[in-house]
């Protein structure tokens, strides 16, 4: 769609300039100063606006949706590796280029980048290590768009499969997270055996879980976490968990990916 709009704008410029040249060449000495000269000016102005507002990230900022090319693209897990301004602004909000390391739907990792308008109040949240869902095209992985679909089920499924591939979780634990009873737990103990998987450290946690009826039970949980998330499970912290009433020895923690 973006390409068609730009082609239309260029065609408008071509027709307007051609009309002006025809009027100028057939209208005698005053032909070049006729009202026809307005059309090239208008056409060029429109073309500049079209190219500016159809740039990467600009239309998404207006519509709140991914561009047509990426709307049905594959879902990848993007880890921010760098952020820098492009020099473009929209309503005083800067456009930035975000560099990513993207894990595709097939598990392969590739470098890519996206451009988007970011409110000033959210700019500080974009830092190396932050994980975001992205949309990409299988035949062109050098460019992605941050997902704006709002399809939480599809995005969660992509994150889940990524964690399974990395050995950070299992399908059984994901089933508990999806179907288990929601509860709160207090971290009672924390030990670090030293095992690392894909940059995630293994933590052995002792939890006191509060059931919905107010009673409690103790359990232990093995969890692989990136360094940025370790602060969420310090001793004394209250964490969200899920468990199956028939098997309270298996408890799954629900932690934020970008805390």
Give the number of C-alpha atoms closer than 13 A to the C-alpha of residue 59, restricted to the C-beta side. Answer: 20
Is there a single domain that holds both residue 249 and residue 180?
A: yes
Structural domain of residue 140, as residue ranges?
70-154
The reply to whether 137 and 100 lie within a common domain is yes
**pLDDT at 59 exceeding the cut of 90:** no
- Does residue 162 fall inside a structural domain? no
Give the number of domains in the chain: 3
pLDDT tens per residue across span 118-143: 888 888 888 898 899 999 999 989 99
132 within a domain of the structure (yes/no):
yes
Contact 143, 112 (CB under 8 A): yes
Q: What is the CATH number of the domain that holds 108?
A: 2.40.50
What pLDDT, on a 0 to 100 scale, did the predictor assign at position 259?
A: 47
Cα 93 vs. chain centroid, distance in angstroms? 18
Burial 74-102 (b: 16+ CB within 10 A, else e): bbbbbbbbeeeeeebeeeebbbbebbbeb
Which of 54, 78, 98 is where one domain is finished? Answer: 54
Same domain assignment for residues 131 and 189:
no
Do 150 and 175 have their domain in common? no
Instruction: State mean pLDDT over 91-108.
Output: 90
3-state SS string over 114-171?
A: EEEECCHHHHCCCCCCCEEEEEEECCEEEEEEECCCCCHHHHHHHHHHHHHHCCCCCH
Work out the average pLDDT over 156-181: 86
Domain boundary among 54, 78, 93: 54
129, 154, 179 — which closes off a domain? 154
- pTM: predicted TM-score of the whole model, two decimal places: 0.61
pLDDT at 213 over 60: yes
Are 219 and 207 spatial neighbours (Cβ–Cβ below 8 Å)?
yes
């Amino acid at each position: 769609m973006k390409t068609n709009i730009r082609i239309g704008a260029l065609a408008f410029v071509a027709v307007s300039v051609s009309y002006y040249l025809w009027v100028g060449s057939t209208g005698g000495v005053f032909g070049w100063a006729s009202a026809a000269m307005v059309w090239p000016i208008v056409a060029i102005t429109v073309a500049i606006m079209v190219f500016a507002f159809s740039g990467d990230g600009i239309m998404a900022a207006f519509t709140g949706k991914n561009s047509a090319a990426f709307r049905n693209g594959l879902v990848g897990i993007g880890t921010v590796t760098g952020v820098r301004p492009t020099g473009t602004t929209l309503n005083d909000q800067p456009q930035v280029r975000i560099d990513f390391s993207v894990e595709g739907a097939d598990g392969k990792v590739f470098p890519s980048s996206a451009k988007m308008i970011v409110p000033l109040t959210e700019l500080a949240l974009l830092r190396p290590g932050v994980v975001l869902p992205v949309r990409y095209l299988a035949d062109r992985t050098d460019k992605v768009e941050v997902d704006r679909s709002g399809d939480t089920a599809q995005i969660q499924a992509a994150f889940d499969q990524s964690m399974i591939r990395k050995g950070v979780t299992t399908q059984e634990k994901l089933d508990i997270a999806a179907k288990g009873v929601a509860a709160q737990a207090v971290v009672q103990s924390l030990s670090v055996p030293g095992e690392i998987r894909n940059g995630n450290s293994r933590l052995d946690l002792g939890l006191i879980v509060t059931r919905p009826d107010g009673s409690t039970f103790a359990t232990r949980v093995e969890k692989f976490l990136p360094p940025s998330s370790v602060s969420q499970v310090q001793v004394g912290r209250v964490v969200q968990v899920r468990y199956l009433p028939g098997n309270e020895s298996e408890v799954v923690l629900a932690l934020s990916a970008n805390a």
